Structure formats: C-alpha cells, structure tokens
Amino acid sequence: MIDTTVATARASAPRRPTADSPLRAILLPVLGLVIVIAAWWLSVLVFGIQEIFLPTPAAVVTAFLEQPGDILDGVWTTTQEMLFGYGLAIVVGLFIAFLLSASRTLHQMFYPLVVAANAIPKVAVAPLLVYSIGLGLTSKVMIVFLVCFFPIVVAAHAGFASTPAEFAELARALSASRLQTYAKVRFPGALPQIFVGLKVAAPLAAVGAVVGEFAGALHGLAQELFAYSGQGRAAEGFAAVILLSVLALALFYLVVLVERLVVPWASRTAG
C-alpha cells in the first residue's frame, strides 16, 4: 500500500527539466547572454569607460538600428567566404585524412608536412594570397580553407585510425575490400571524431574570413569593421563584431544539428 502511494505521488509530481530538455537548452544560453550583457553594461558605468573605447550595449543597438544597411552590407560577402572555405576544407580535409590513414607510407611522408603547414602564421600568408589571387572572393575562401583544414584532417585521421580491431577483423573475414571497409566500418565509426573536428573548425571560418578581409578586400564585415575603427565609430564596430560572432555561432550550431541527425547514437552512448 505504501509503495503504491509513493509511486502515485512520484507520477503526479511535476517533472523538472532534464539536462537534455529543449526548454533548458534555450533558457540557459539566454540567461548566460543576459549575464554577459549586464556585466558589460555595469563595467562601462562603474569604471566610467568612454564610449570611444567601449560603448554600452544600448549604444551598439542604437548604432545598428540607425544605419543597418551600412553594417549589414558586408554580411553576405563574409558568409560566402566562410561557407565556401569551410566546405572546401571539409572535402579536402576528409580526403587527405582518408589517404593518410589508408597508407602508413603516405602518413609517414606527408603528415609532418601537414603539421608544418599548419604552423605557418595565416596572418603572414594572407597578404601574399591577396596579392597573388586578388581582392575578390577567391583569396578569402583560400584563407578560410587554410585556417579550417588542419583541425578537420587531425580529427578525421584520429577517427579513421581508432576503428576497433574486432570490426576490422570482421571486415577482413567477410572478404571486404579496403574501400568497402572504409565505407561500411571505418567511416561510420569515425563520424563522432570527424564532427569534433568540424565543430572546432566552424568558428575558425569566421577568423579566417576576418584575416583575409583585413589583408585586403572590397567588401565584408571585417572591411566594415576596419573602416569604423579608422573613423572612431566604436559602436558600429562592435555591432560588426557581434554580427561576426553570430555568423560563427550559426555555423557551429548548424554542424551540431547535422551531427545529431547523422549520428544520434553518439550523444546517447557518451558518458
């Protein structure tokens, strides 16, 4: 009787939002944003920081609402640079990771070169690419590609190399070819690691676009930011920075959404 009463009480009690509930996933980021904005606003007021150095959130919103066309002018250009460069990094990075994991000889020959290429400062390469290719979209796409390429290669290579031995032995026992083994065993097993690299590289796409546009560009958010900084228009500059952050955040969560659709089992089997 007591057990029945306790079970009934538990069933009728209101359930708290779990860690994976949609309500919690929405409310907590909003709460974090509110805290950051409040801390920003309070810092400006308490320390008496001049608006030319750090404008208040209200000043940034006002500047954006007064001249939205000027600030949004470069959004589409920067978005194209990010998407094209990021997409190219995915295609080339996965292919290179496949080659490096498929052949020990290729891995020993070229993996150190991949690491060395990543060590080259992209800020130093950007002006050379802009000078060689031009001020157009192509040079910025190549810079975004260079910034995003290495995390994808490393993560995908780690995923391909971490296939459980029993799965590889099963594929050999079934007389599967190397291509079939990668398609049916190694690639699906490597997807969680691959998406780690994709999520790391997604915000870097915005960094690459900014580096490329600072090196030389006709349009783009970073170009607008450079112009606002030269004119002492800090509020408009902060609005451009926030838009860049929004683009990076949108690309990151787009990858997270694709991950949940492609490998829904990964989050359920994680500790």
Torsion of CA 100, 103, 105, 109, to 10 degrees: -10
Is a pLDDT exceeding 60 seen at residue 114?
yes
| pLDDT tens track for 137-180 | 999 999 999 999 999 999 999 888 887 666 666 677 776 666 77
When pLDDT is cut at 50, 70 and 90, the band that residue 13 belongs to is: very low
For helices 104-119 and 75-102, the axis angle rounded to 10 degrees is 150
Residue range 60-87: average pLDDT? 86
| pLDDT tens track for 20-61 | 577 777 788 888 888 988 998 898 888 888 877 888 888 888
Is a pLDDT exceeding 90 seen at residue 89?
yes
For helices 187-215 and 75-102, the axis angle rounded to 10 degrees is 140
- The values of phi and psi at residue 67, to 5°, are -135, 60
Say which range, 105-119, 121-135, 172-186, 190-204, has the weakest mean pLDDT: 172-186
Residue range 63-83: average pLDDT? 84
Is a pLDDT exceeding 60 seen at residue 243?
yes
Q: Which domains does the chain have, with CATH numbers?
A: 67-269 (1.10.3720.10)
The pLDDT, as a whole number, for residue 208 is: 93
Tell me what percent of the residues of the chain surpass a pLDDT of 90: 30
The pLDDT, as a whole number, for residue 168 is: 67
Q: Is 72 helix (H, G, I), strand (E, B) or coil?
A: helix
Spatial distance between the Cα atoms of 153 and 113, rounded to a whole number of angstroms: 12
Q: Tell me the two tokens of residue 66.
A: 């007064």
Closest C-alpha to 80, from 224, 212, 177:
212
Residues with Cβ < 8 Å from 49, sequence gap 6 or more? 43
Q: Note the pTM of the prediction, 2 decimals.
A: 0.84
Spatial distance between the Cα atoms of 68 and 62, rounded to a whole number of angstroms: 10
| pLDDT tens track for 121-131 | 888 888 888 88
Is a pLDDT exceeding 70 seen at residue 90?
yes
Spatial distance between the Cα atoms of 110 and 124, rounded to a whole number of angstroms: 23
Is a pLDDT exceeding 50 seen at residue 112?
yes
